[in-house]
Amino acid sequence: MTSKPSIVDIEHLSLSYRSRQSSHSALSAVSLNLKQGEALGLVGESGSGKSTLAHAIINLLPPQAHIESGKVRLFQQEGFKKRLFQGRDIAMIFQDPMSSLTPHLTIAAQMLEPMIHVKGMSLSQATQRALSLLGDVNIHQPEQVLKKYPHELSGGMCQRIMIAIALSAEPLLLIADEPTTALDVTTQATILHILKDLQLKHNMALLFVSHDLGVIHQVCDRVCVMHKGQIVEQGSTKDILKNPKQPYTKSLIASIPRLTGPKLDYLPSQELFNTPPHSKNPDAAPLLSVEQLCVSYSTPSLFGAKKFKTLNELSFNMVEGEILGIVGESGSGKSTLAKALCGLIPTDSGKVTYRSAPLKGIHPDLQMVFQDPSSSLNPRMTIGGNIAEALKYRQSLSSQDRRARCNQLLEQVNLPPEFYHRYPHELSGGQKQRVGIARALADSPKLLICDEPVSALDVSIQAQVLNLLKHLQRSLNISMIFITHDISVVRFIADRLIVMTQGSIVEIGATEQLLTNPQHDYTKSLLNSVPDINF
Amino acid sequence: MTPSSKGISLSREAWQRLQSHHLAMLSLLFIVVIALACCLAPLLSSIAPETQAAWFHTQAPFSTRPAVKALNHWQLGEASPIEYQNYQKLLIDVQRRDYEDIRVVKREGLIFKIQLIEGAMPLTSFEINQDSHAVYAILRNGQIGQPLPNMTFQLGMIAPAELFLAHQEVAFLRKYQSKNAVDQYLIKQANGKVVEIKNNDQTLSELKLKGSQVQRIQADTVELLITHYLGTDELGRDLYSRILHGGRISILVGLVATLVSLLIGVSVGALSGYLGGKTDRLIMSSVDILYAIPFMFLVILLLVNFGRNLIMLFFALGAVQWLTMSRIIRTQIMSIKQLPYVDAARLCGANSFQIIFHHLLPNCTGTILIYTTLTVPMVIMEESFLSFIGLNVQFQGRSLDSWGTLIFQGMQALGSNGENAWLLIFPAITMGVMLLSLNILGDGLRDAFDPKLRDKD
């Protein structure tokens, strides 16, 4: 290891973002070293400075960023000549593959251009090389893909093409900034596989930035855990996952829901709950039963409307007091199902029965918690105003009673009562999601539908919100439909599980049973692609 | 996060961001100052904009004249004109009317012609003797100039330099029949009533004076003067007062027409965006059709057919401006109505009315405000254009002058060498500053409401 040349050397780098009024520190005294052929993971929650560090290496910092002290040495040379390294010795892959490719140029134009200009290849040479690179990233029929435009390809394909473009210049250092965050689990697994293979094959140095320890574990030999602009701990990935030394790393690893190991009642986090689960009677009449539900979207065109089926004859039951998990990749129709059940979008055919009465339109007993906490609160209303929505329209409470109920709800979701007068943009993502939960609970619903409530949150916040949801479900004795793409999360929270793909249900069963003994191929491939930190 | 329990709303945050945008704040100051000055026009200018002093003609900025009206009448025992009622004693210098005007023409340095203007009677010689007859030079603008020194000249003589101004071939002289060019009248008043009128030693029972005759008016010990800060136009109207009063019309039209467009545009846009589907397509198709009509033509037709009154103008301009507003609001509403908080409100039992007024429109306020700030200058410009082509607003048969009218008239009165340029420059600067400020403020507001937009460029 020591004989290999060092690619990146960072010594005590401190960096801050300055605006006219204030400056806040983004990195403080960060030191790290990356050698040739090594894969280094940078892991941390949002705002921990991991992306800033990655951008500092290739000098892509925004103008507000100001280096206070420290040095970045690339290829054992002082400082960096910006144009020299970019594109030839260093390549970067970004989070969103769709917006990294220019939409009005074909893949061929975007792939061949750097080869012709930087490497000075002829057109036929470049085409040959592009085809072999596309083969490297497991793209079938590369000749046809070259002629296509980015919007004709899936996100995973685009990311693979980005990797191929990045590799075309045979860089010594590849920086991947959350390259799989926007992708589905199965796609993610392929991409990670390709990245790891190519890294070994080309003997590149790889800097892999991610918030997901599981992903890092699959790709990287070494990992740096970042927190609030500092490297808290670094070492070999296995060591850190097995024996984390710092309390922050310990809590970070503990708060990740696991796919294997004992099923936890609550995830370890700051708030502690010990509400016991209610006993359920599986033979009782179902709370909600869905029969042959079909939903389609129609796009208006000049001659009539085109219809796209998004839900295809779904049928399932759920009993009172249970948590029903629905898992599936993006586009599988899980969010459509949530909206259809709530009555937010019309259904085509099928029957939904709630407490043995047909469910039509919006029912006060059904409430929803949304995915994106920032857009699910009205930014022009105070937190109090947002929570009081449900009380305002359906109940005739005096303003004092309404205020009292809001305070009670804030207390239930563990938020201080001062938040009543705050505005959504003053709160963090986790706090906003708590407000969203409080609003959903305001009208004492019987069935709470949570549509990916934690997928926009950091791992430690995710654990807190998951615990809170479980605790509320138990203490208020409500039923819950929990929609997510993350099987580990669903294992922690759900009693029963529905696996969906392309608008249909492929498997229903008790969570543990279904996960340990999956029947359908799709469930199996889903389970196999989850990057797990247990080994 | 601030420790106070009161939150900072988005609007307050936008206001704070706007405050750090110095240019926008300066523009806001200009707008407020100009708008306030126009609102308080009667306090800031003692002269009504329509007051004419035709004898005074076009005068440069900061010229002064005696404070008299076109016709002034004092009668013994009656009340004095209202503006003089507070004084005990008035001393009025009146130009005598018993004079003859003489023209002297010079050719090749010699006196070529001496002529009485009335009757064009030729003279052979002319004597100036200030002790018996006052003789003054008449300036090019018709005003009386300096008294001339005593001299005698005749045809064929070398022309005296005092007589002719530089490079001039013709001189005009005014010869009075008496030693004094002016008559002095003394009016004594008590409790606002005229007690005594005296001319030299003669007591009169009434005095009628034309404004053009009065050379000087002194009340008690002060000389009563009117200063025209920005000069006058060819009818002797005060430009300063006219700009302030014209601003009232321009700003009023700008504001009200924008409000009309706001009202129609926001309601149509919100309805169309919220309902979507067929209704949306129907409404937007109608908007497209209306867009296709050449709108200035439409406004001109409306004004010509239904009269050029203010209400008609508000309606005509507003009815044109709402199209863009409705499109912008519709797009905004369409994107906002897909956000989860609208779904959440629906689940909470809110009806369409509550969703539009509590959730959709409040989240459009930024856009509405920005677009309003940009519409006002557009409407002011359009109104000016209408005034410029002579379709200015009329009220009770009297035409109301706006900045556009002033610019138009200033352009006409410019003169062959642009010697009356101030008549064009001052209204144009005022309107330009107002329009520029409104546009900069609009840009500042856009940055304040959408800080991401500014970071990107």
User: Are the Cβ atoms of A389 and B10 closer than 8 angstroms?
Assistant: no
| Local structure of residue A77 (DSSP, 8 states) | B
How many Å lie between the alpha carbon of A198 and the closest alpha carbon of chain B?
Answer: 35
Both tokens of residue A197? Answer: 């293979």
% of chain B with per-residue pLDDT over 70: 97
pLDDT along chain A (535 residues), means of 10: 73 82 81 88 84 82 82 70 60 82 88 81 89 85 87 84 84 86 81 87 89 86 88 87 86 81 74 72 79 82 71 88 88 87 88 86 89 88 88 83 91 89 87 92 91 85 89 90 89 90 89 88 86 62
Residue of A nearest to B354 (CA): A393
pLDDT one-digit tens code per residue, B410-425 = 888 887 888 888 889 9
**Helix A155-168 with A123-136: angle, nearest 10 deg:** 130
User: Are the Cβ atoms of B340 and A382 closer than 8 angstroms?
Assistant: no
Q: Cβ contacts (< 8 Å) between A390 and chain B: which residues?
A: 347-349
Mutate to test the interface with A, among B347, B357, B359 (most CBs of A within 10 A): B347
How many Å lie between the alpha carbon of A16 and the closest alpha carbon of chain B?
Answer: 17
pLDDT at position A304: 64
A439 touches B: beta carbon within 8 Å: yes
B321 touches A: beta carbon within 8 Å: no
User: Are the Cβ atoms of A394 and B349 closer than 8 angstroms?
Assistant: yes
* Count of C-beta atoms within a 10 Å radius of residue A143: 11
pLDDT at position B454: 47
Using a 10 angstrom Cβ sphere, with 0-12 exposed, 13-18 middle and 19 or more buried, the burial of residue A94 is middle
Mutate to test the interface with B, among A64, A381, A402, A444 (most CBs of B within 10 A): A381
Instruction: Yes or no: say if A225 and A249 are a contact pair by the CB < 8 Å rule.
Output: yes
Q: Which candidate, B270, B294, B248, B265, places its Cα nearest to that of B393?
A: B248
**Helix A185-202 with A521-529: angle, nearest 10 deg:** 50
pLDDT at position B193: 86
Q: How far apart are CA A349 and CA A360, in angstroms?
A: 12
Q: How far apart are CA B325 and CA B291, in angstroms?
A: 12
Q: Which amino acid does the sequence have at A129?
A: R
pLDDT at position B23: 93
- Segment (H or E) for A451: strand A447-451
pLDDT confidence band for B304 (50 / 70 / 90) = confident
User: Are the Cβ atoms of B7 and A377 closer than 8 angstroms?
Assistant: no
pLDDT one-digit tens code per residue, B257-268 = 999 999 999 999
Residue of A nearest to B343 (CA): A344
User: Are the Cβ atoms of B9 and A383 closer than 8 angstroms?
Assistant: no
pLDDT one-digit tens code per residue, B381-397 = 988 888 888 888 877 77
pLDDT one-digit tens code per residue, B206-234 = 888 888 888 888 888 888 888 888 888 88
Q: Which candidate, A161, A63, A163, A69, places its Cα nearest to that of A106?
A: A161
Instruction: Yes or no: say if A323 and A510 are a contact pair by the CB < 8 Å rule.
Output: no
Q: Which amino acid does the sequence have at B280?
A: D
CA dihedral A26, A29, A30, A31 (to 10 degrees): 160
Cα B256 to Cα A64, A138, B57, B259, B376: the distances in Å are: 43, 65, 35, 5, 9
> Which residue in the set A366, A423, A439 is minimally distant from B8, CB to CB?
A423
| Local structure of residue A349 (DSSP, 8 states) | E
Query: What kind of fold does domain B68-96+181-223 have according to CATH?
Result: SH3 type barrels. (2.30.30)
pLDDT at position A1: 43
| Interacting residues of B345 by C-beta distance below 8 A, sequence separation 6+ | A378, A389, B354, B355, B358, B359
Mean pLDDT, residues B295-319: 82
pLDDT confidence band for B3 (50 / 70 / 90) = very low
| Interacting residues of B22 by C-beta distance below 8 A, sequence separation 6+ | none
Q: How far apart are CA B367 and CA B351, in angstroms?
A: 24
pLDDT at position A302: 64
Q: Cβ contacts (< 8 Å) between A374 and chain B: which residues?
A: none
User: Are the Cβ atoms of B7 and A422 closer than 8 angstroms?
Assistant: yes
Both tokens of residue B442? Answer: 């609009």
pLDDT at position B434: 95
B279 touches A: beta carbon within 8 Å: no
Mutate to test the interface with A, among B1, B278, B348 (most CBs of A within 10 A): B348
pLDDT one-digit tens code per residue, B319-377 = 888 999 999 999 999 999 989 999 999 888 888 999 999 899 999 988 899 899 999 99
What are the residue boundaries of the structural domains of chain B, listed by start? 3-43+236-456, 68-96+181-223, 99-176
User: Are the Cβ atoms of A389 and B350 closer than 8 angstroms?
Assistant: yes
Both tokens of residue A497? Answer: 């599980």
Interface predicted TM-score of the whole assembly (ipTM), two decimals:
0.80
A422 touches B: beta carbon within 8 Å: yes
pLDDT one-digit tens code per residue, B47-95 = 888 877 777 778 888 888 888 888 888 888 888 888 888 888 888 888 8
Cα B25 to Cα B392, B443, B450: the distances in Å are: 32, 11, 17
> Which residue in the set A378, A423, A443 is minimally distant from B341, CB to CB?
A378
Query: What kind of fold does domain B3-43+236-456 have according to CATH?
Result: MetI-like fold (1.10.3720)
**Residue B412 C-alpha from the chain's centroid:** 15
How many Å lie between the alpha carbon of A137 and the closest alpha carbon of chain B?
Answer: 33
**Residue A321 C-alpha from the chain's centroid:** 28
pLDDT at position A83: 47
User: Are the Cβ atoms of A376 and B363 closer than 8 angstroms?
Assistant: no
- Is A523 strand, coil or helix? helix
pLDDT confidence band for B438 (50 / 70 / 90) = very high
pLDDT at position B2: 42
